[in-house]
Structure 1
Amino acid sequence: MLEQMGGVSGLIYSTVPVIVFVPVNSIWGLIPAMIAALVVAVAVFAIRLIRHEPLSPAISGLIGVAICVFIAHRVGNAKGYFLFGIWTTLVYAIVFVASIIVRWPLVGVAWNLINGEGMAWRKHRRTLLAYDIATAFWALVFFARYLTQSELYDHDQTGWLAVTRIAMGWPLTALSVLATVLLVRWATREEHVDEAREERELS
């Protein structure tokens, strides 16, 4: 799952445009800040291309920065740069919660699709519970990001928006991935125990 995000380097790369955008805006204004963020995003894309790293995260990152810059330009304020990310986290949180409600927790679906293991895990109660908890953990992280950043946005705290975006970005993502791995390992172990028990009963 971490690889799908571009690995650790991808998570770090995603913070660079934000780190550049805020101080440039403070010193030279919005237009130079937007240009600087786009230049940095293109540079990150070029670096990943030269180093033959996965391009999907770099492309999505470049598109994301372009959208953020466009919104900032339309809003006419530096805080608009963060609006897309704020609403995106809310959408993610809602989708993750909805997947638990309909009994198709997204962590379980994604994990088993990536590993090509099908959807038999849904028949195991404890396995399903583990994926529910992992999915709920991600939803909680997204909700926390949304509530914190939307409050700062409403109070025009652009600098703190950058700080919280970084502080609640890759560190919390890494924590979520760790929690997911631990829960999935437990779920897999429980699933194998159930399968072994069923085989013994049938024999």
Structure 2
Amino acid sequence: MDLKKDEILEELRSIFLNKTFDALLPPIIYAVSNSIFGLIPAVFLAVAAALFNFSRRIIKKENWKYSLAGLIGVIFASSLAYLSDNASSYFIPALTSSTLFLLASIISIIIGRPLAAWASHLSRGWPLQWFWRDDIKPAYREVTIFWALYFALRLTIQLNLFFSDAVLNLAWVNIILGWPTIAVVLTISYLYGIWRLNNLGGPGVDEFKAEKEPPWDGQNRGF
């Protein structure tokens, strides 16, 4: 239990101390600047904030890959806003992301290959055959349904604010329903997933690889 707690806390610490700060600064600066100075200054200040985040991590020799992706994303979003002369267009990538993840979740459930299983396979390298077992797959299907509900809620709120041109509110919603909420969703997914795998009574991934016969100890770490 202590090892599981330490694993979850380490992941949350990484998200809140690193990713949240990088994700928070540009959209808030953009939204506030747009309400005070107008679109053009908001675009330049948002890009400057993202460039600051990226440069800061390079200088401090920290992991800069997320900041680089953020910088590219801010440049793209700012370009959409500038070219369309519409401040709300800055958030089109966020709406697109929510839509794609929602569709991916729903489609993966329909075809019987849940998105949560693919995500775990890609991040952990566990064999796909293990995920598709009848005594394993239900846990990943149920977690994927949970993800679909989250993305549906996020997209509904985003679209409502987007079409209302509520730029500042949309910025705050994207932040709150971004990494902070994702951290909560992933934590719940992890805890539920481990419990459900043990409830299903299937083999742990290491037992599956070793072709161990039942009775199995089950999956006790990692989901």
Is 1:57 aligned to residue 71 of structure 2? no
Counterpart contact for 1:79–1:156, Cα < 8 Å? yes
Change (3 A) 1:142 1:200: closer
Q: How does 1:42-121 map to 2 (within 5 A)?
A: 42-121=51-130
Structure 1 contact 149–164 (Cα < 8 Å) conserved: yes
CA deviation after TM superposition for structure 1 residue 200, in Å: 4.3
Instruction: Indicate whether 1:148 and 2:157 are aligned.
Output: yes
Aligned AA for 2:21? I
Greater helix share, structure number: 1
In the alignment, what sits opposite 1:185? Answer: 194
After superposition, what is the alpha-carbon deviation per residue over 1:97-123, rounded to whole angstroms, capped at 9, x for unaligned?
Answer: 111111211211221332222113234
TM-score (norm 1): 0.87
Q: CA deviation at 1:147?
A: 1.0
Matched residue SS, 2:203: helix
Q: Distance in 2 between matches of 1:96 and 1:173?
A: 15
- Counterpart residue identity of residue 47, structure 1: R
Q: Tell me by how many angstroms 1:185 deviates.
A: 1.8
Structure 1 residues 115 and 188: alpha-carbon distance in aligned structure 2, compared to 1, 3 A threshold:
farther
- Structure 1: gaps spanning 5 or more residues: none
CA distance in structure 1 between the partners assigned to 2:202 and 2:121 by the alignment:
13
State the match for 1:128 in structure 2: 137
The one-character-per-residue Cα deviations of 1:104-163 (angstroms, maximum 9, x if unpaired) are 112112213322221132343242111111112222221111111111111111121112
Q: What's 2:146 paired with? A: 137
2:5 equivalent in structure 1: none
The DSSP-based 3-state class of the residue aligned with 1:15 is helix
**CA RMSD for the aligned pairs?**
2.5
Query: Does structure 1 retain, via aligned residues, the 8 Å contact 2:19–2:179?
Result: no
**Judging changes above 3 Å, is the alpha-carbon distance between structure 1 residues 113 and 84 closer, same or farther for their aligned structure 2 residues?**
closer
The SS at the match of 2:138 is: helix
1:169 counterpart = 2:183: no
Say whether 1:26 aligns with 2:35: yes
Alpha-carbon distance between aligned partners in 2 of 1:193 and 1:50, rounded to the nearest angstrom: 43
Unpaired runs of 5+ residues, structure 2, are: 1-7, 216-223
**Post-superposition shift, 1:26?**
1.2
Aligned residues: 198
